[in-house]
Amino acid sequence: MGFTNKVYSFRSFSFWFWVLLIYVIVALVWWFVSLERLTADMTALKLAELNPKAADFDLLREDVLLYQKRQTAKFVGEGVAFLALILAGAFFVYRSIRKQIEVSALQQNFMMAITHELKTPIATTRLSLETVLRRKLDEVQQQKLLLSALSETNRLNILTNNILLASQMEEKNFQRENEEVNLADVVETVVSDYKNRYPNRHIEASADKDLFIEGDELLIQIALSNLIDNALKYAPKDSPVYVDLMNDNDNIQVKVSDEGSGVPDEEKQKIFEKFYRSGNENTRKAKGTGLGLYLTRKIITDHNGDIFVMDNTPHGSIFVIQF
């Protein structure tokens, strides 16, 4: 409902904006026409006052007509200058307000998503723990419910960490470590953690050894975790997710591949923007807040790296981190 209201509000603004701009342009044209008519009347009056029999009649007539041409040129110059200023101002105002409305809509989507993302793990964890406390279950069932609660608390922890870290990096309050990071160890640690959390999902890792960068190991782990989490969310549950670390022509690459629906070409850059998610939050099924990929890009660029997404074959996406 909120997203629809934002769209309607922007359309209403656009309509009245263009109506006002057209009115101003028409008023400017009318001003030019009125001044031209006034100048023509004054010219005609001056020409009527001239004596055709005077020796300098032709010279005086030329002076009057030259004055009319100068006035016309003056009006044209002023009109063009005013029109250019009006159009430039209108362009910047329209672009600024449009951007503000888009950001507002993204923030509203984020608030809807974050509300759902916070409530779901809390409710699931509470239900699991209440079931363990109130019912006499065998050890296997208890273990299953406790693992479910632990998984949801881990998910909640990742979510809150993403929010806090994004805020700190936005305000430049976060002081990252600068140490030698073994990327093979990072891949092994993160993939192992996800295999434990999602034992029913197929996650494969392949990592070249002795690949190091200078940076913050915890931040690199968060970036990679966000990519794997993203792949697990958007890929079918029975499809594999591949994590590959390699040295490609002196460029260190980390690739996270999935066999999901992929990313449309027009969204391959937008998905790294803050709060951006494809579609409407009211109809979107996949969990998320629109912060994960944004935060991942911030982390990678802060480590002098690059991140982009490619199409997988026959379908899906490949997210590539390159140092």
Tokens 């993403």 correspond to: 162
Q: Which H/E stretch holds residue 196? A: helix 183-197
Residues 235-260 have a mean pLDDT of 86
Q: What is the pLDDT of residue 2?
A: 47
Q: What is the pLDDT of residue 282?
A: 39
Q: What is the pLDDT of residue 290?
A: 64
Higher pLDDT, 5 or 203: 203
User: What is the pLDDT confidence band of residue 1, given thresholds at 50, 70 and 90?
Assistant: very low
Angle between helices 139-170 and 57-134 in degrees, nearest 10: 150
Which residues are CB-contacts of 211 (< 8 A; sequence separation ≥ 6)? 182, 183, 184, 245, 247, 252
Residue 35: exposed, middle, or buried by beta-carbon count in 10 A (0-12, 13-18, 19+)? middle
User: Residues 47, 48, 50, 52: is their CA dihedral positive or negative?
Assistant: positive
Q: What is the pLDDT of residue 109?
A: 62
Token pair for residue 125?
A: 């964890």
On the question of pLDDT at 291 being above 60, the answer is: yes
Residues 1-28 have a mean pLDDT of 72
Q: How far apart are CA 282 and CA 196, in angstroms?
A: 31
Q: Contact 36/105 with Cβ under 8 angstroms?
A: no
Q: Contact 241/309 with Cβ under 8 angstroms?
A: no
123-139 residue pLDDT tens: 878 888 888 888 877 77
Neighbouring C-beta atoms of residue 303, cutoff 10 Å: 20
Task: Report the DSSP pairing between strands 306-311 and 203-207.
Answer: unpaired
Name all contacts of 73-78 with Cβ < 8 Å and 24+ positions apart.
75/32, 75/35, 75/36, 75/39, 76/32
Task: Report the DSSP pairing between strands 241-248 and 203-207.
Answer: parallel
37-85 residue pLDDT tens: 888 888 888 888 887 877 777 888 888 888 888 888 888 888 888 888 8
Residues 236-254 have a mean pLDDT of 86
Q: What is the pLDDT of residue 125?
A: 82
On the question of pLDDT at 248 being above 60, the answer is: yes
CA atoms within 13 A on the CB side of 32: 18
On the question of pLDDT at 144 being above 70, the answer is: yes
Neighbouring C-beta atoms of residue 226, cutoff 10 Å: 23
On the question of pLDDT at 9 being above 70, the answer is: no
Lowest model confidence (mean pLDDT) among 12-26, 56-70, 146-160, 204-218: 146-160
pTM over 0.95: no
Tokens 């009527």 correspond to: 48
297-311 residue pLDDT tens: 888 888 888 998 888
On the question of pLDDT at 178 being above 60, the answer is: yes
